[in-house]
Structure 1
Amino acid sequence: MISNYNSKITALILSIRPETTPLGMLTVYIGGLVAGASFNSFTILLAVIVTFFITAGSMTFNDAYDWEIDVINHPNRPIPKGILTPKQMLQFTAVLFTIGLVITFFINLLCTFIYLFSIGFLAVYELFTKKYGIMGNITVAFVSSIAFTFGGAAVGNPLVTLPLTILGFLIVFGREIVMDIRDADGDKQMRLTLPHQIGVRNASLISCILLLLAIAVSPLPYILNIVSLWYIYFIIPVDIITILTVIWFLRDHKNAAISAHLIRGALALGLIAFIIGIL
């Protein structure tokens, strides 16, 4: 009995993707700094904590609705392995979302609105748009990139983060299509993703165009005097990594899984470039 309980707790912890949640938290923190918050701002700390709960909740929400696809694409996740049920995962999701919502009450009304709006978008994604190609990709990209805006909203200055939000949107949008290509075999059982609609080759071209657009607009934060010249020094290697990943991916679509990881790594390095540019 104790062993079964421990396995469920471990499964719940792993289901929030501990390796992924810090990226969203860092994004909000950077949005707050760009908007004028101090490095030790308590308000930004609350916004970062909120981001942990909504990011974790989005992961468990996805697991609860995608478990049939995960049997093929991700058989080691808790539901396909029989450790947890979809109902238990949804209950855990409700707890995570509720805790995050309560914390927004201690920030400001705008953050509460963005939080509820984002959860609504996530619900629309899981229940409706995920099944219909590019609309699902747009939904995920929007919810991910709005984290910059959430950080700015926490200190009452969301508009200044707009260039960062656009950049984040393009990167996540491109990466989401790459992941659809990675999961194409399993998705064809349940979803009509972009690779199934227009073919893997065309979907890969669109993803690469989005990533190259992100590279093209990456100097924008410096041009708009949001960050210092140090940002440029650090973003150039990030752009080079992204370009090389695009070339490698176009040569062989079987590299989609590794390419998706490389893009996420480039995104993490890009966030570090923002921090250095703000110092």
Structure 2
Amino acid sequence: MTVGETGRGMLELMRPVNVIAASVLTFIGAFVAGGVGEEPVAVVAAVAATGLAVGAGNAINDYFDREIDRINQPERAIPRGAVSPRGALVFSVVLFAGAVALALTLPVRAIAIAAINLLALIAYTEVFKGLPGLGNALVAYLVGSTFLFGAAAVGEIGPAVVLFVLAGTATLTREIIKDVEDIEGDREEGLNTLPIAIGERRALVVAAVLLVLAVVASPVPFLRGEFGIAYLLVVVPADAVMLAAAYESFEDPTVGQSRLKYGMFLASLAFIVGRAALDVSLTV
């Protein structure tokens, strides 16, 4: 195996798209809290720490999941031999160390969130992944908490709490759909995921109900007067995309969970637009 192939394999272990996405979510949390202009160094540290932690979590997940991936995802770096299991583990430790070093430069509240999240990332595959619903809920918390982490980095988490709840609920929906997609390999490994425990269709119904609850709650920032009409103009199409994705997952879980991710990003954009419009109105 060449050095170039190993390097590409390590990059794949990190899941660059996920790293960038999580980093952006942390930035959004800081932006919604109104601290990007006031605490730029803290924002950069929080964004970088998030990226390294997510990359480390993905790498160690692939290390623990290597036997499942030989069935579900044989093209991934470890099953195809681009990176050895030991190499993936060492790479993950290095990334975790970088994330910790950056997180320690932030306020105490942000450090506490980072500590909880790092422990959760490490424990996910070995402890929670095979427990019906609990593994999904942990992933949902981790995604939603990136907004809280970004807000805590600039000293104020209040404005990001609703975003945390909405993102967590939408992510829980997506994780359940992904488990339906991966049910064959999970059965081979003896995991007891939600679709295996209660059936694929029932699991999809649970996912759809959760998403409907998130959509119903999405106007809360507007109703509370935190954001104006600009927020609604973006969040309503995002809601439509997510609901359509949940419906489509009954026919094709792979397509459904992929499109749901786009709806989630659009919903995050709604909070950016809402905060930007608020800042403009305050300066007029």
Q: TM-score range with shorter-chain normalisation? A: over 0.9
Residue 184 of structure 1 corresponds to: 183
Rounded to whole Å, the distance in 2 between the matches of 1:228 and 1:14 is 40
Any unmatched runs of 5+ in structure 1? none
Structure 1 segments, 4+ long, off by >6 Å, are none
Structure 1 residues 134-143 or 82-91, which shifts more? 82-91
Contact 1:26–1:271 (Cα < 8 Å) also in 2:
no
Residue 280 of structure 2 corresponds to: none
Aligned residue-pair number: 274
Aligned-pair CA distance for 1:228: 2.7
Residue 220 of structure 1 corresponds to: 220
Rounded to whole Å, the distance in 2 between the matches of 1:15 and 1:227 is 38
Aligned-pair CA distance for 1:123: 2.2
Rounded to whole Å, the distance in 1 between the matches of 2:195 and 2:156 is 38
1:99-248 → structure 2 map (5 Å cutoff)? 99-190=98-189, 191-248=191-248
Structure 1 residues 211-220 or 34-43, which shifts more? 34-43
Contact 1:195–1:203 (Cα < 8 Å) also in 2:
yes
Rounded to whole Å, the distance in 1 between the matches of 2:227 and 2:42 is 21
Residue 257 of structure 2 corresponds to: 260
Rounded to whole Å, the distance in 1 between the matches of 2:93 and 2:222 is 40
Residue 29 of structure 2 corresponds to: 31
Rounded to whole Å, the distance in 2 between the matches of 1:86 and 1:21 is 21
Aligned-pair CA distance for 1:39: 4.5
Contact 2:246–2:260 (Cα < 8 Å) also in 1:
no
Partner SS state of residue 19, structure 1 = helix
Counterpart AA for 2:98: I
- Aligned alpha-carbon RMSD (Å): 1.4
Aligned-pair CA distance for 1:65: 0.6
Aligned-pair CA distance for 1:42: 2.3
Rounded to whole Å, the distance in 2 between the matches of 1:132 and 1:110 is 29
TM-score by length of 1: 0.94
Counterpart AA for 2:202: N
Contact 1:178–1:260 (Cα < 8 Å) also in 2:
yes
Rounded to whole Å, the distance in 2 between the matches of 1:46 and 1:128 is 29
Rounded to whole Å, the distance in 1 between the matches of 2:44 and 2:223 is 28
Rounded to whole Å, the distance in 2 between the matches of 1:46 and 1:138 is 27
Rounded to whole Å, the distance in 1 between the matches of 2:16 and 2:204 is 28
Aligned-pair CA distance for 1:200: 0.3
How far does the alpha carbon of each residue in 1:126-145 deviate from its partner, in whole angstroms, 9 at most, with x for none?
Answer: 21111111111111111111
1:274 matched to 2:271? The reply is yes
Rounded to whole Å, the distance in 2 between the matches of 1:63 and 1:194 is 21
Aligned-pair CA distance for 1:54: 0.9
Rounded to whole Å, the distance in 1 between the matches of 2:121 and 2:55 is 12
Structure 1 residues 190-199 or 16-25, which shifts more? 16-25
Counterpart AA for 1:172: T
Rounded to whole Å, the distance in 2 between the matches of 1:264 and 1:82 is 29
1:57-68 → structure 2 map (5 Å cutoff)? 57-68=56-67
Contact 1:58–1:122 (Cα < 8 Å) also in 2:
yes
How far does the alpha carbon of each residue in 1:86-112 deviate from its partner, in whole angstroms, 9 at most, with x for none?
Answer: 211111111111101101122222222
Residue 6 of structure 1 corresponds to: 4
Contact 1:179–1:260 (Cα < 8 Å) also in 2:
yes
Any unmatched runs of 5+ in structure 2? 277-284
